[in-house]
Amino acid sequence: MEENCLIEGQNLSLRIGERWLVRDLSFSANKGEFIALVGSSGSGKTTLLRALSGDTPLANGQVITHADCPLPVGMIHQDLQLAEGSTAIKNALSGCLYRHSSLKTFFGFPDEEKNRAVTLLQKLGLGQKLNQWTSTLSRGERQRLAIARTLLAQPSILLADEPVASLDGKWAGETLNTLKEYAKDQKACVLCSLHDLDQVDQFADTIIQVDPVNHEKWEVKCNPSTKA
Amino acid sequence: MNPEMNKMPWYNRLDLPGVTFILFLLLAASSLPALEGSGRDLDYWGNFLRFTDQFFPPDWSILGQTMEGLWETIQIAGISTFLASLFSLFLSLGAARTISPRWLVFMTRMVLNIIRTIPSLLWAILAVVLVGSNSLAGVIALSLYSTGYLAKFFSEAFESADLKAQKALRSLGSSRWQAFQYGLWPNLRPVIWSHCLWMLEYNVRSASIIGYVGAGGIGLHLKLYAESAESWNKFSLVLLCMLVIVTLLDFTGEKVRKSIREKLEGVN
């Protein structure tokens, strides 16, 4: 095992009913690495991410995490899972709840957490909407908010299920750039399912891609564009 | 119409709403004897005109004491709704199927059903017997009555709440309480507040009538004016003031509820 490795999948196999989604996938993700999961809709990207987070049981194989921090894994879900009746800033800040006691957060959040949240939300284009109810934000804004919440939680392994699906080209690029910077700065790894091959080419260090012929087989390869 | 439909016997075309509508018409027809009245030959129209004539003009000289009575009514409604909201928050946890075990849900719902079955006026009579004829009786009566309704509404809100945000926060390491406070409560709060506002409006109306049996508020004034001769113009002023207050409350409550609905529905 490499010293920098944060998460390993060993001979992972996943299935839904009789249908195999993944067979014998092995990979490892290192500190600072951005990994893209690529495959058509229904190929099993979400199920694979959920299996890595521990939410879905594996049919075979094992997932080993080597992260030594209070929150090893954090996931950005496709359905966002935000508190719609809460303001944008509170939703973002709820990512850092685990760092403080319930008594402390009962009355609010420390100033340093607030400052960090505001800076991140401004970077993601939500600076003018901090105190707006989440339900009144657009789908794209809510998606960036869900990303901000998980980034503020600072997990070592960040799993992102189609995090830029509702974003226009500009914000998709900005957001993926933020995720990539996060991996580098925090020495974390990001595993992210993507559809746009240009984005994959631009941001991914490693690509885990479903085989176009045998849909149960997944192939792990380095991205030559970013390796250079 | 499909020719096959014509061949069907008429009763095969009836569904549950159809059957209940026919039963309703039968009930109304069989209730016609209730319109007979006393059977005495009374001049209904003349009585009505004489009666309404005494209503006008309203007697403005009692405006001050009427406003005092109304203020007491609003106070009874306000504190009752507040107390009922507190009781209901706890009781609704027991009545929510998604939170509590089945035996507790059954027991709590049974208690709430019993509370709701007794009208507020009967609660007021019981409270007057307990604590005497004063506004405390009104507070006790309306707090109990409102708890029956609010706890039911709150438990339904708990049952239909979106739990995804709460689960997401748990997976990000937050404690159970933190996940409730920041994941579930923000989604529940507007709905619960909307129910509380509705209950406040309802309680202002109820508090106006329970005074009739001695439970404080403007109802007592109504009773006095209705029972004393030549006081219908005072009675009409009280009604007028109540109309203004209730309309204002209705208007404000609806505005707030509309704003909550719009915010919750969002722009998507």
Which residue stretches of chain B are H helix? 3-7, 16-30, 44-55, 63-95, 102-117, 120-131, 135-160, 164-171, 176-179, 185-210, 218-227, 232-265
| pLDDT tens per residue, range A158-198 | 999 999 988 888 899 999 999 999 999 999 999 999 988 89
How many structural domains compose chain A? 1
Q: Do A75 and B171 touch (CB under 8 A)?
A: yes
In DSSP terms, A10 is beta-bridged to A62
Residues A89-100, mean pLDDT to the nearest whole number: 94
Is A57 part of any domain?
yes
Q: Residue A211: pLDDT band by 50, 70, 90 thresholds?
A: confident
Residue A210, domain extent: 1-72+187-228
At residue A181's C-alpha, the angle toward residues A87 and A223, to 5°, is 125
Residues A100-112, mean pLDDT to the nearest whole number: 93
Residue B238, domain extent: 61-265
Six-digit token string for B118:
């007794």
User: Does the pLDDT at position A148 exceed 50?
Assistant: yes
How many structural domains compose chain B? 1
Q: Residue A128: pLDDT band by 50, 70, 90 thresholds?
A: very high
Is B71 part of any domain?
yes
Interface test with A, best of B164, B172, B182 (most A CBs within 10 A): B172
Q: Residue A83: pLDDT band by 50, 70, 90 thresholds?
A: very high
Residue A131 forms contact with B (CB below 8 Å): no
Is B229 part of any domain?
yes
Q: Which residues of A touch B173 (CB under 8 A)?
A: 70-71, 97-98, 153
Is A79 part of any domain?
no
Q: Do A85 and B183 touch (CB under 8 A)?
A: no
Is B1 part of any domain?
no
d(CA B118, nearest CA chain A) in Å = 35
Is A28 part of any domain?
yes
Is A131 part of any domain?
no
Residue B253: the pLDDT is 87
Residue B268: the pLDDT is 43
Is B27 part of any domain?
no
Q: The domain that contains A32 carries what CATH number?
A: 3.40.50.300
Is A108 part of any domain?
no
Q: Which residues of A touch B172 (CB under 8 A)?
A: 71, 74, 94-95, 97-98, 149-150, 153, 155
Q: Do A94 and B169 touch (CB under 8 A)?
A: yes
Q: The domain that contains B143 carries what CATH number?
A: 1.10.3720.10
Q: Which helix (H) or strand (E) holds A75?
A: strand A73-76
Concatenated DSSP letters for A144-168?
Answer: HHHHHHHHHH--SEEEESSTTTT--
Residue A177: the pLDDT is 93
d(CA B259, nearest CA chain A) in Å = 12
Residue A56 forms contact with B (CB below 8 Å): no
Residue B267: the pLDDT is 47
State the complex-level ipTM: 0.87
Residue A74 CA, distance from chain mean position = 7
| Strand A218-222, strand A157-160: pairing | unpaired
Is B52 part of any domain?
no
Is B100 part of any domain?
yes
The CA distances from residue A66 to A29, A62, B179, in Å, are 10, 13, 26
Q: What is the C-alpha separation between B175 and A100, in angstroms, rounded? A: 10
Residue A42: the pLDDT is 84
Looking at residue B211, what DSSP letter applies? G
Is B47 part of any domain?
no
pLDDT < 50 positions in chain B = 267-268
Is B19 part of any domain?
no
